[in-house]
Structure 1
Amino acid sequence: MDVNEIVESALTALRSVGAEVASPWFYLQFGLILAAAGIAWAADAAIRTRVDLSSLAMRWPLPLRHFVRVMVRSASTAIFAILMIASRVAMYQMTWPSRSYLIAVAAKLALAWLAVQLITSVIRNAFIVKVVSLSAWTVAALSIVGQLGPAIDALDGIAIEIGGLRLTPLLLLKLGALLIVAVWLTNIASNFAESRINRSSDLTPSIQVLLVKMIRMGLLVLAVAIALGAVGINLSALAVFTGAAGVGIGLGLQKIVANFISGLILLVDKSVKPGDLVTIGDNTGRISTMKTRYISVAAGDGREFLIPNEDLVTQKVVNWTYTDKNTLVKIAFGANYDADPRLVCKLASEIAGAHPRATKGKPPNCILTEFAEAGMKFSLTFWIADPDGMDGVKSDVMLALWDAFKREGIRVPYPVREIRVRGGALPVETVVEVPS
C-alpha cells in the first residue's frame, strides 16, 4: 500500500465518521455510553470499599479464585461491558441495528480489555503487563472497527533495506512481541531449572551458579534465534550487526566482556564460591551472590561491596574458607620485665584454650618473641573452627588476659620518657595552701 492509498483510506474513514456524527442516534448512543461509564465507576468504587481481595474466595480452587479476583479488580470494565450489552440488545429490538453500532463497538472494546486483563494477570513484571495489555488491546480495537488490515498494510509499506534485510515497522512489532513472549517463557523455564539445581545436594554452590548461568544464557540465545526465524529473518543477514557488535566490543566493551569471562572462570575453577569469607583489598566479608559482571560481598554491618569479577582474577584475594574453615588467631601482647615469662605463656595458653570457640584438638601456643625497650613481647596463637566473629574472639581473650594480669600482679609495659634540662631550670610554681 502506497501513501496515496493510505490517505484515501483515512479520508474514507473520516467521511464515515462524519456521517455517523451527523445522525441524532449518535448522540443517544454517546449519552448511553457516558451514563454506563458513570454507573460502572460508582459501582467499582462501592465494590472496592466493601470487598477484601486478600480474603476473597480463599477456600475456592486456585484458578477460580484467581479469576474472581481479576474480575473484582476490573469491576468497572465488567459492569460497563454488561450495561453496553444490555443497551445493545434493547436498541436492537426497538430500532435498526445500525443505530446501535457505536454501543456495539463500546461493548466489544470493553470485553476485549477485560479479556486482556485476565490473560495478563499471570505475568508478574509490571512493565511487560503494560506493554502487552496496550499492544493486545490496540490490535483488538483495530480489528473491531475494521481497520486492522489497512493498519497492517500501512506498517508493512514502509521499509528500509539493510544488507539484504528488509526492515519494516510491522516486522519490528512482530519481532518485539515474539521476543517478549520468548523471554517470558525463557524466564519461567530458567527459574524452574534453577529451583531444581539449587535443591540438588550433590552439586557445590559454584557449580550450581555455573549451571544456572549456562542454562539461562542457552535458553535466551535459543529464544532469540526462534523469534528471528519466526518473523522470517535469516541469521546470516545479521552479519552486519554482529560485525558492528565486534567493533563495539573492541572499542568500548572490553571491561564488560572481561568481567563476563572472568565470572565464568571463577565458576569453573571454584576459587571463590557463595558463602566464602574473603578479603579483597581493604574489604572483608562473605560472598552472598555471584553475578555475570560482579560478586556481592556482605561485610556484616549492612554494607555490600560489589566487586567486578576481573578484580578477583587479576588481584590478590584472601579466601579464609577456600579448603578449610579452621582459622588461626594471632594475638600480640607484652609484659614488663618484672614478670615471669613462663608464667605469662602459661596463663595466655590456658585462657585461649578455655575460650568456647577454641578448637580442642589443636592446643594454643604462646612464645616469647622479643626483649623490647619497654618490656617483653609475646605471640599467642590458637585455632577456631570458623573465621566468623574472629575480632570478637580476640577481644574476649585479651580481656581475659587483662583480668589474669591484674590478678597475678603482671603489668603491661608502656613507654617511659626521661626528660633532662641542661643550662637552666624550669620555672616552678609555688602553691600555698591557706587553712580555712
Structure 2
Amino acid sequence: MNADKIREFLEQTLGHITALGSDVNIISQILAVIGGLLVAYFTRRQLKTALLSLQGHFPPRSPFARGLEILAGLSLPLIWLAIEFAILAIFQGVGPPSHIISAICSLLVAWIVINVVTSLAENKIWARLVAFCAWTIAALNILGLLTPTLVFLENLAFNLGDTRISMLGVAKAVVAGIIVFWITFGLSRFLEARIHKSRALTPSVQVLTAKLVRVGLISAAVLIILSNSGINITAFAVFSGALGVGIGFGLQKIVSNLISGIILLLDRSIKPGDVIEVGQTYGRVNAMGARYASVITRDATEFLIPNEDLITQQVINWSYSSKNVRMRAPIGVSYDTDIPKALKLIEGAAKDVPRVLENPAPRCLMRGFGDSSIDLELRFWIADPEEGCRNVTSDVLVSVWALFRKEGINVPFPQRDIRVEMVDAKNQS
C-alpha cells in the first residue's frame, strides 16, 4: 500500500472541491439539485397514493398492478428526475453549462432502471444488493471515476505468503458473489417449481431432484466465484481433508440425518403428503428437508422430526401403499336387544357418514358376551386419513347413538350389586 499516492489523491480531490465552490454556475446547479430533492421529498406521498389508487383498477397479480406497485416505491426518484429534467432544459436554454444536473439525471435514470429490473426478483435482499452494486458501478462510470477507482483499489494490496491480495480483487469477488448467488437462487427456485409441477416424478423423487439441483447450482456458483477471484482451488485439498475429519467426529448427527433423508427419498417409504404416526405424533408430512421432516398434526402443530428417527424408529405410514384405512369402533348393547337388527342398524348408521366408504362396505360383528353388555365391533373404511381418524369415528358413533334412540335400543352401563349381611354379635363372641 503506497501512502504517498493516497495522500496525493486526497489532496487533489480537496483542491477540485475548493475550486468548484467558488464558481457561481456550480453553486446554482448544486442549489437546483438540492431544491429538486426537497420538492420531491415533500410531494412523494401524493404520487405514491395516486399510483396505488390506480393499482386497484387492475387484478392483484397482473403485470400492470405489479408495475404500478414498483413505480410507487420509486416515487421520490421519479419526481426528482422530472424536476431535474425541467431544470436541465432551462439551463440548456439559457446557455451556461450544466454538467452537475446532467450527471444527476443520468444517476437517477440508472437508479430507476436498475431498481425496476431487480424488483422483479422474489428475494428482496439479494435484489437490493445487486441493485446497489450495479448502481455504484454505473455511478462511477457516469462521473468518470470508474478507472481511477479501479487503479486506486488495485494499489491497496498486501501480500499473504506468495499471494498478492488487492482490494480490487476482493471487491470483484464480492460483486461477483452477489450477482452469481442472486442468479443461482433465482434459477434454483424456477427449476424447483418446474420439478414439483412434473407429474412424471413421484413426490419423493421431486424433493430429491430439487435438492440435488440446488446443491449443484450452489457448488457451481462457489467454484465460479473462487476461480474469478484468483484463488487457487487446489489449495482447498488440505482443507477438505480436515473438514472430513471434523464431519466424522463433530457432525455425526447432522451427517446421519442427511444420509437418512436421502435414503427416505430413494426408497419412497415416506414422502410429502403421507399420513404417518411416530410415537405420539400423528399427522401429515408437509415437507422433507435435509435434516428433518415437517409433520403437521390435526391441531395445526408442526413437528420437526429428525430423519434419523424415521429410519431407526417404528413408523406407521397410514398411506404408504394405499390411503384406504380400516377403522374399528367398539359398541355395547343390552342383553334384551335384537342382535341381527342391531347389526343392520349400526351398519346403516355408518353408511350415513359421508367419509365412510361404500366399498368396502361397513361391517358390524359380535365379539362376545360382556359383563353388562353384548360386545359388538363396527369396522368401516375411509380414504382420507389426512383429515383425521378420531373425528370420523366420533361421527359414526353419534350416528349410531341417534339411530339407537330412535329404535329404542339401550346402551347398558356397568352395574354392581352390593349385598349387606347382618352378623349376630353373640355368635361372633
For residue 196 of structure 1, report the CA deviation from its aligned partner.
3.3
Matched, 1:306 2:304: yes
Matched, 1:79 2:47: no
Match for 1:172 among 167, 170, 179?
Answer: 170
> What letter is aligned with 1:238?
F
**Percentage of pairs with the same residue:** 34
Match for 2:263 among 246, 265, 273?
Answer: 265
Q: Which residue of 2 aligns with 1:30?
A: 30
Q: Which residue of 2 aligns with 1:135?
A: 133
> What letter is aligned with 2:223?
A
Structure 1 unmatched runs, 5+: 425-436
When residues 310 and 332 of structure 1 are mapped into structure 2, their CA distance, relative to the original with a 3 A threshold, is same
* Equivalent-residue separation in structure 2 for 1:129 and 1:4 (angstroms): 38
Q: CA-to-partner distance for each residue in 1:261-302, whole Å, 9 max, x for gaps?
A: 222221111011122111122221222222333322232333
Q: CA-to-partner distance for each residue in 1:377-430, whole Å, 9 max, x for gaps?
A: 443323333323432332233234334554344342224363859899xxxxxx
> What letter is aligned with 2:20?
E
Q: Which residue of 2 aligns with 1:392?
A: 391
* Equivalent-residue separation in structure 2 for 1:355 and 1:34 (angstroms): 74
Q: Which residue of 2 aligns with 1:202?
A: 200
Q: Which residue of 2 aligns with 1:332?
A: 330
> What is the SS of the residue equivalent to 1:333?
strand
* Equivalent-residue separation in structure 2 for 1:213 and 1:340 (angstroms): 61
Q: CA-to-partner distance for each residue in 1:186-218, whole Å, 9 max, x for gaps?
A: 334333333433333222121122222222222
For residue 13 of structure 1, report the CA deviation from its aligned partner.
0.9
> What letter is aligned with 1:18?
T
Q: Which residue of 1 aligns with 2:363?
A: 364
Matched, 1:286 2:284: yes
Contact 2:283 2:296 in 1 (8 A): yes
* Equivalent-residue separation in structure 2 for 1:296 and 1:349 (angstroms): 37
TM-score (norm 2): 0.81
Kindly report the root-mean-square deviation, in angstroms, between the aligned alpha carbons of the 2 structures. Answer: 3.6
Q: Which residue of 2 aligns with 1:431?
A: none
* Equivalent-residue separation in structure 2 for 1:23 and 1:248 (angstroms): 65
Q: CA-to-partner distance for each residue in 1:206-262, whole Å, 9 max, x for gaps?
A: 112222222222222222222322333332123354355445534554433333322
Q: CA-to-partner distance for each residue in 1:329-388, whole Å, 9 max, x for gaps?
A: 11123344555666655654554456551443355141324644x444443323333323
Matched, 1:187 2:185: yes
Matched, 1:21 2:21: yes
When residues 144 and 199 of structure 1 are mapped into structure 2, their CA distance, relative to the original with a 3 A threshold, is closer
* Equivalent-residue separation in structure 1 for 2:63 and 2:377 (angstroms): 66
For residue 82 of structure 1, report the CA deviation from its aligned partner.
0.9
* Equivalent-residue separation in structure 1 for 2:325 and 2:69 (angstroms): 58
Q: Which residue of 2 aligns with 1:151?
A: 149
Mean Cα deviation higher: 28-37 or 406-415: 406-415
* Equivalent-residue separation in structure 1 for 2:259 and 2:209 (angstroms): 15
Q: Which residue of 2 aligns with 1:275?
A: 273
> What is the SS of the residue equivalent to 2:287?
strand
> What is the SS of the residue equivalent to 1:288?
strand
Contact 2:328 2:379 in 1 (8 A): yes
Q: Which residue of 2 aligns with 1:427?
A: none
* Equivalent-residue separation in structure 2 for 1:371 and 1:69 (angstroms): 74
* Equivalent-residue separation in structure 2 for 1:69 and 1:269 (angstroms): 46
* Equivalent-residue separation in structure 1 for 2:256 and 2:80 (angstroms): 52
* Equivalent-residue separation in structure 2 for 1:77 and 1:218 (angstroms): 44
For residue 24 of structure 1, report the CA deviation from its aligned partner.
4.1
Q: CA-to-partner distance for each residue in 1:111-166, whole Å, 9 max, x for gaps?
A: 33233334323333221232222222333333444443343344334456667655
